[in-house]
Copies of this chain bind each other. A is one copy, B any other.
Amino acid sequence: MDTFRVTYHLDVEAGNESSRAEEVAAEQTVEVPRSAIRDAFVAEEILGVVEEIVEAPEEGGFLARVAYSVETTALDPAQFINVVFGNSSLHADTRCLDIELPPSLLAALEGPKFGISGVRKAVGVYGRPLTCTAIKPMGLSTEALTDLLRVFARAGIDVIKDDHGLADHRFAPFEARVTSCLAAIEQVADETGHHATYVPNLIGTPKTVFRQLAFAQEQGVRAVMVSPMLIGLPTFWELCHEHASVPVLAHPAFGGAQRIAPQALFGKIFRLYGADAVIFVNFGSRFSPSERSCRALADGLVAPWSGLQASLPVPAGGIAVESVGSVLDFYGPDTMMLIGGNLQVDPTLIPQRTREFVEAVRDHFDD
């Protein structure tokens, strides 16, 4: 039988771990009492199987690995998440820690279409980490956002993205913003020779998001950004695989990585669903994931995975220009460094801080 595996953390007293794990295996598949299962196919091929239970090494509780038949997923992006963590997400004692997938599921869900190499090709930067920042805050006019983009482009930033809070607002409408920012990119390229990449944020219902993507692609954008948990993972999958002709950068907003471990959600599931680059909050930032979970997350984005393309790690979340070196030492050269607000701490020093950031990244791995 073709199976995939999910590891759950169960916050239960010793002695209850086995029955609790069996409950999860049933909850995620048959959702009836075992006494109600009369059908041999259901009992043998559908009901989840608890394969292993071990004590959680540090936090207490137990780690339970459950095997599910690939058939349960119908090879559908929504049903896959449903089997992984649909009802069990509602249990306060259960967290989803890890997924392990066979080639059949990886082939069905496909992963990134462009991956790290496609992002590098779109941006035109090879052999060193990439730099990234965001135009913000929300509330600025299209003109003010474009002015800021020009400052960043002139200072040599590789990727200048919309803040994930920029929607189709009255004060900076999506289409006008895309047109204006792309023109400014060309203008700065003519002036300086540096051709930055502008990445617009897509947000809305499917109709809106697919229309925004089509518009942006027609205008010549070389990458787009979207928040998979805001628009929904199945919508994200359809966007990546049926609509996008450019690399897709995934933002973690609404990811609430509390009941799903960040390394599982951002490190594996986002990649599995097609993110070419994944923004995540770094340890020691204004968010507070552990160093170990960031390591596992970044490793997950690039590890060999049955032929899936690698996703580019994009640590973020309040990194200071001064700590660029230590962050790069941790993540290595296949990284896009995203610094947002820290470039704007002193509005008069934005060009200078941005150049310091650009140079720190450019020079870090040089000898």
Which of A179-187, A344-352, A359-367 makes up part of the contact surface? Answer: A344-352
With A71-B170, A256-B259 already in contact, the answer to whether A76 and B204 are too (CB < 8 A) is: yes
Cα A281 to Cα B91 in complex, Å, equals: 10
Partner of A36, one of B71, B89, B137: B137
Instruction: State the Cβ distance, A113 to closest chain B Cβ, in Å.
Output: 15
Q: Is A101 an interface residue when CB atoms closer than 8 A count as contact?
A: no
Partner of A169, one of B74, B209, B234, B281: B74
Cα A86 to Cα B260 in complex, Å, equals: 16
Cα A232 to Cα B83 in complex, Å, equals: 16
Chain A 74-112, CB within 8 Å of chain B: the 1/0 string? 101111011101111111100010000000000000000
Partner of A341, one of B32, B41, B165: B32
Chain A 240-267, CB within 8 Å of chain B: the 1/0 string? 0010000000001111111110000000
Instruction: State the Cβ distance, A1 to closest chain B Cβ, in Å.
Output: 12
Chain A 3-14, CB within 8 Å of chain B: the 1/0 string? 000000000000
Q: Is A291 an interface residue when CB atoms closer than 8 A count as contact?
A: no
Cα A255 to Cα B35 in complex, Å, equals: 28
With A90-B252, A164-B86 already in contact, the answer to whether A140 and B42 are too (CB < 8 A) is: yes
Q: Are B79 and A204 in contact (CB under 8 A)?
A: yes
Q: Are B137 and A91 in contact (CB under 8 A)?
A: no
Q: Are A254 and B167 in contact (CB under 8 A)?
A: no
Q: Is A237 an interface residue when CB atoms closer than 8 A count as contact?
A: yes
Partner of A144, one of B39, B233, B288: B39
What number of copies of this chain does the assembly contain? 2
Q: Whose C-beta in chain B lies nearest to the C-beta of A93?
A: B288
Cα A169 to Cα B80 in complex, Å, equals: 12
Q: Are A33 and B238 in contact (CB under 8 A)?
A: no
Instruction: State the Cβ distance, A237 to closest chain B Cβ, in Å.
Output: 6
Cα A168 to Cα B78 in complex, Å, equals: 11
Contacts of A123 in B (CB 8 A): none
Partner of A205, one of B78, B253, B258: B78
Q: Are B235 and A230 in contact (CB under 8 A)?
A: no
Q: Whose C-beta in chain B lies nearest to the C-beta of A69?
A: B139
Partner of A227, one of B32, B45, B82, B205: B82
Q: Are A238 and B288 in contact (CB under 8 A)?
A: no
Chain A 29-48, CB within 8 Å of chain B: the 1/0 string? 11111011111011001110
Cα A301 to Cα B236 in complex, Å, equals: 29
Q: Are A206 and B238 in contact (CB under 8 A)?
A: yes
Q: Is A126 an interface residue when CB atoms closer than 8 A count as contact?
A: no
Binding site for B on A (CB under 8 A): 23, 29-33, 35-39, 41-42, 45-47, 71-74, 76-79, 81-83, 85-92, 96, 136-140, 144, 163-165, 167-171, 203-209, 227, 230-238, 242, 252-260, 281, 286-288, 317, 340-342, 344-347
Give me 8 A-to-B residue pairs in the complex whose CB atoms sit less than 8 angstroms apart, sorted by A's number: A31-B163, A31-B165, A36-B345, A39-B140, A42-B140, A78-B203, A86-B230, A254-B258
Q: A209-B234, A256-B260 are in contact. List 7 more A-B contacts (CB 8 A).
A: A32-B340, A42-B139, A79-B168, A90-B257, A204-B234, A205-B235, A206-B206
